Amino acid sequence: MDLMKLYDRLYGFFGPQHWWPGDSPLEIMIGAVLTQNTNWQNVEKAISNLKEARLMDLESLYNVPAQSLAEYIRPAGYYNIKSVRLKHLIVFVKENYGSIEKMFEEETEILREKLLAVKGLGPETVDSILLYAGNKPIFVVDAYTKRIFSRHNLCFEDVDYHELQSEIMASLPKDLDLYNEFHALIVRLGKDYCKKRNPLCEKCPINGF
């Protein structure tokens, strides 16, 4: 599959998507957990609450009780599990590295395995953190990627996460900005043209792939 051609068409059609919105690597990491199966608008409300409460730093998040944290992130939904997941992530960073900057100095594949071992962080959340918070050239696969690729016969519907990720990364140059923009464009395409409800989309801008 010629994914560069696909990328060029998406970029030409939609233009740059300006991902990931966030003022700091910490905020991006928090957002990555909060957005699990959740609309980004709701995540923004939760992040806004955390900023107002002056909790958007490693030390404060480390010290705030999970139960209290849950109240601030309530608008993001699943607030009880997500508060625990955030605490797991914060504890992982603070007790193993001391800072987010130090954490990202670790070799990427090693870090990736360690993050995957943190309860509440799955492959998509971990890869989003590595790419958008850590600036590591890791391609993020998500439900949109699988839906779009399978509908255009680029993969099977129930393809394994890592398998699809490997195939995509093998057919693209290892480029941070490319991975960053490509994933954002796929999400945009999914939202606008490749919804669950309209499997037959004659207007899809990537018809022909």
Footprint on this chain of DNA (rule: CB under 7 A):
19-21, 31-32, 35-42, 45, 74-82, 119-126, 128, 132, 142-144, 187, 190-191, 195-197
Choice between 2 and 67, CB closer to DNA: 67
Choice between 17 and 206, CB closer to DNA: 17
The H or E element containing residue 89 is: helix 79-96
In the complex, minimum distance from the CB of residue 159 to DNA, in angstroms, rounded to a whole number: 12
How many whole angstroms separate alpha carbon 136 and alpha carbon 204?
30
In the complex, minimum distance from the CB of residue 87 to DNA, in angstroms, rounded to a whole number: 13
Q: Which two tokens stand for residue 52?
A: 């107002």
In the complex, minimum distance from the CB of residue 109 to DNA, in angstroms, rounded to a whole number: 17
* Residues 26 and 56 sit within 8 Å (Cβ to Cβ): yes
Choice between 143 and 170, CB closer to DNA: 143
Q: Which two tokens stand for residue 138?
A: 């890791």
Choice between 98 and 205, CB closer to DNA: 205
Choice between 54 and 196, CB closer to DNA: 196
Nearest to 148 by CA among 88, 92, 204: 204
DSSP percent split of the chain into helix, strand, coil, nearest 5: 60, 0, 40
Q: DSSP secondary-structure letter at 162?
A: H
In the complex, minimum distance from the CB of residue 190 to DNA, in angstroms, rounded to a whole number: 7
| Rg (alpha carbons) of the chain, rounded to whole number | 18
In the complex, minimum distance from the CB of residue 108 to DNA, in angstroms, rounded to a whole number: 17
How many whole angstroms separate alpha carbon 163 and alpha carbon 149?
13
In the complex, minimum distance from the CB of residue 12 to DNA, in angstroms, rounded to a whole number: 21
Which residue in this structure is represented by tokens 């016969």?
153
Choice between 167 and 180, CB closer to DNA: 180
The amino acid at 182: F
88: left (phi over 0), alpha (psi -120 to 50) or beta: alpha
